[in-house]
């Protein structure tokens, strides 16, 4: 993406608006291309501890879990008991919004991971429906 941007628009001055846990690739590529930018972290991911018990109840009666970021994978794993997490990662379908989140699920050792080619919530649903049709 950075290469295409540079090719099309040249070296622009950029404000890179990011989250606390954003991936390092874009700043690294901008630095390597000597593009002037300022990275501004405007949000932090905070776990919603108030929903921990709700999550623990819910995972006992669902067939799939949709993950929209690596942070959701991390919080999910931390909120479940060890026994719950072992069951979930083996028995449920993990639907990731995209490749980065799918990689986090792989690191957490989920056995069934699917994700759409186009990274949207709508396409997550379509991907899961298509998965169910093929089973």
Per-residue pLDDT reduced to its tens digit, 80-124: 999 999 999 999 999 999 999 999 999 999 999 999 999 999 999
Cα-to-chain-centroid distance, residue 100: 6
What pLDDT does residue 2 have?
A: 65
Number of structural domains found in the chain: 2
HSE of 127 in the Cβ direction (CA atoms, 13 Å)? 23
Tell me, yes or no, whether 21 and 79 share the same domain. Answer: no
What pTM did the predictor assign?
A: 0.77
Question: What integer is the mean pLDDT of 25-35?
Answer: 83
Residue 92's domain comprises: 49-134
The residue among 61, 91, 94, 98 whose CA lies nearest residue 76 is: 94
Tell me, yes or no, whether 24 and 60 share the same domain. Answer: no
Asked if residues 33 and 6 have their Cβ atoms less than 8 Å apart, the reply is yes
Tell me, yes or no, whether 39 and 77 share the same domain. Answer: no
Tell me, yes or no, whether 39 and 72 share the same domain. Answer: no
Tell me, yes or no, whether 63 and 31 share the same domain. Answer: no
Tell me, yes or no, whether 37 and 70 share the same domain. Answer: no
What pLDDT does residue 105 have?
A: 98
pLDDT band at 62 (very low <50, low <70, confident <90, very high): very high
């Amino acid at each position: 993406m950075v290469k295409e941007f540079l090719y099309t628009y040249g070296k622009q001055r950029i404000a890179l608006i990011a989250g606390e846990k954003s991936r390092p690739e874009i700043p690294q590529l901008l630095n390597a291309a000597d593009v002037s930018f300022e990275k501004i972290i405007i949000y932090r991911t905070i776990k919603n501890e108030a929903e921990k018990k709700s999550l623990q109840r819910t995972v006992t009666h669902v067939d799939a879990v949709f993950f929209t970021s690596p942070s959701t994978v991390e919080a999910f794993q931390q909120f479940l008991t060890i026994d719950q997490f072992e069951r979930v990662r083996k028995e449920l379908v993990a639907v990731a919004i995209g490749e980065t989140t799918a990689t986090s699920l792989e690191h957490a050792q989920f056995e069934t991971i699917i994700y759409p080619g186009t990274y949207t919530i709508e396409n997550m649903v379509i991907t899961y429906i298509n998965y169910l049709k093929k089973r």
